[in-house]
Amino acid sequence: MNSQTLPEHHVNIVPSLIRQGERLRPVGGVIYRRPVKETFHEFLLYLLLVVTLGKEWYRQQMLLKQEDRHVILKWFNSFKEWTKSSSIERNKVEEGWKALPTGEVQILMSLAYAIFCLSVQHRLPDPLIKRLRNKDQFQGAYYEITVAAIMVRAGFTLDFMKDITQDKSRCEFIAKHKYTGIEIGIEAKSRHRKGVLNQDGEFSYSEAMKGDIEGLFQKSLTQKPKGLPYIIFFDLNLPATPHIVWRTKPWVEDVKKILDAHGTPSVKTPDPFNGLILTNFSYHYGGNEGTAPPGEYMLIIPEYSEVQLNSPPYIQR
């Protein structure tokens, strides 16, 4: 992890300035006064834990028994342990230090960076922050934020940040491309697994290696906004299998069966969606030992859709 700079293809980051013994970090119209030696990644955690979730929420979590705390607290403890074991002095680089993250550090930083990307453009709506704090609703909120940040980095603004509702029959948000004005409905769903991401029960590897998203898929088909292109994101929430060729992964075969049962799109029977994006951003399965497992994804674009997307390259972005 480098400290202060990120590639240009990410969101527009205004460089920090050092003034009168402080580092000034402008983010989305707000200037944060931070310690000079604080790295960019440490600032991301400040933005997540203090600015977004809040000091009072953090204080209340710390009063709970360790097993009752939110999974974010577990990841933050993993970050502190990883920081100590990474030997900062040995891994110094210009303006910071670097080290390969563990799985729990990687997912914590991924969430923190997603919130940063959204903060550059929007303020997170209060209902979404409330869901993020809630153990039972966290997983859905986490993936919604992840997908929203993906769309922001692809050059879109998000309507749901202005008027988020509790209507379960609509998609998560409408993404509008900054330069062309193209609007796309976006849905984001994450598969729950027992014993994972605040869920009760015990995780079973033998039972949960499949892409069993049929229920989520069928529900998403009912949430398409009228008259707009539609892109659906599903996170499988499974341990990564980089040693298995992607075509033979169990979840790929299961998803193929679901789509085959759905039917082949045609001019007369087009698909309601323009893109189906399957992700497996399951860094948390890596724990806090070794390096983070890789993320996985698959993009499916139907030949015929109910509403044609005039600029398909935007899906590729």
Q: What is the per-residue pLDDT across 152-163, written as a single tens digit (0 to 9) for each?
A: 998 898 986 444
pLDDT confidence tier of residue 186, bands split at 50, 70 and 90:
very high
The whole-number average pLDDT for the span 16-31 is 91
Rounded to whole angstroms, the Cα distance separating 149 from 132 reads: 15
CB 119 within 8 Å of CB 93: no
Which class for 143: exposed (0-12), middle (13-18), buried (19 or more C-beta within 10 A)?
Answer: buried
Q: What is the pLDDT of residues 276-314, one digit of tens each?
A: 999 999 999 999 988 998 889 999 999 999 998 876 566
At 243 the pLDDT is: 87
Q: pTM of the full predicted structure?
A: 0.89
The whole-number average pLDDT for the span 27-52 is 93
Position with higher pLDDT, 96 vs 270: 270
CA dihedral 46, 6, 284, 138 (to 10 degrees): 50
Q: What is the pLDDT of residues 231-253, one digit of tens each?
A: 999 999 999 888 888 888 888 88
Find the angle CA(41)-CA(15)-CA(176) to the nearest 5 degrees.
85
Would you give the end-to-end CA distance of the chain in angstroms? 24
The whole-number average pLDDT for the span 66-88 is 89
Task: Inform me whether the pLDDT recorded for 256 exceeds 80.
Answer: yes
The whole-number average pLDDT for the span 95-105 is 86
Position with higher pLDDT, 17 vs 89: 17
Rounded to whole angstroms, the Cα distance separating 306 from 226 reads: 10
The whole-number average pLDDT for the span 261-283 is 92
At 212 the pLDDT is: 85
CB 191 within 8 Å of CB 233: no
At 272 the pLDDT is: 93
> How much of the chain exceeds pLDDT 70, in percent?
89
